[in-house]
Amino acid sequence: MPGSFEETAEAICAGCGGKCCHEAHPPLSPARIEEFRARGVPPSVIEFVGYTRMKSHDNGMCIMCSGGKCRVHAFKPETCVAGPFTFEVQDHTLRLFLKHETICPLVPYLKADADAYATQFRMAVKSLMVLVRSLPAQELDVINRIPEPETELVAEIPIPPGESGAP
């Protein structure tokens, strides 16, 4: 296994085949949409179904996943940057959940290495805060209703009022 956290995480993700990309509809912040446009990603990969998100193929795989790899990995959606962490917003609180290893093979590595966990956790919080602060309350409400059954609550982080679309 490679040495740095980034190399190790990349190797684990590369070998996964895109488990987390199946039935995923990552929300997109306005800034991420602009980044997509600037990098030549066609608008046809984005849809609005209660919130602005990535489309999926008929088989449920994210439209940007090809051969088990993300075609926009270098500038992927904020929830994808968060990796095995997912979220909901409740009462001005960002609630973070860690997916089970049945969904993400990176989880056992993170649980076994406190420094790696802390690194990914910090990236997740930063990325998800950017997303949450940029979305309207109506879109966050829709996202909050998406079931995430194979997860465990790992943190609750206050969001100061006025810093998110959350009511």
| Domain annotation covers residue 157 | no
| Domain annotation covers residue 15 | yes
For 13-31, write each residue's pLDDT tens digit. 878 888 888 888 999 999 9
Q: Is the pLDDT of residue 4 over 90?
A: no
| Domain annotation covers residue 40 | yes
Overall number of domains in the chain: 1
Q: Give residue 90's domain range.
A: 5-144
pLDDT attached to residue 9: 81
pLDDT band at 164; cut points 50, 70, 90: low
| Domain annotation covers residue 106 | yes
| Domain annotation covers residue 155 | no
From 84, 79, 98, 96, select the one nearest 159 (Cα to Cα). 96
Query: Percentage helix, strand, coil, to 5, in the chain?
Result: 40, 20, 35
For 59-89, write each residue's pLDDT tens digit. 999 999 888 888 898 899 999 999 899 999 9
pLDDT attached to residue 34: 96
Q: How far apart are CA 151 and CA 163, in angstroms?
A: 26
For 106-139, write each residue's pLDDT tens digit. 999 999 999 999 999 999 999 999 999 999 999 9
| Domain annotation covers residue 90 | yes
Beta bridge partners of 97: 86, 153
pLDDT attached to residue 1: 44
| Domain annotation covers residue 152 | no
- Lowest-pLDDT range, 2-11, 49-58, 70-79? 2-11
Q: How far apart are CA 108 and CA 124, in angstroms?
A: 17
Q: How far apart are CA 50 and CA 161, in angstroms?
A: 23
Q: At what angle do helices 30-38 and 114-134 cross, to 10 degrees?
A: 100
3-class DSSP state of 32: helix
pLDDT attached to residue 167: 47
- Listed in sequence order, the residues at least 6 apart from 75 whose beta carbon sits closer than 8 Å to its beta carbon are 32, 35, 36, 39
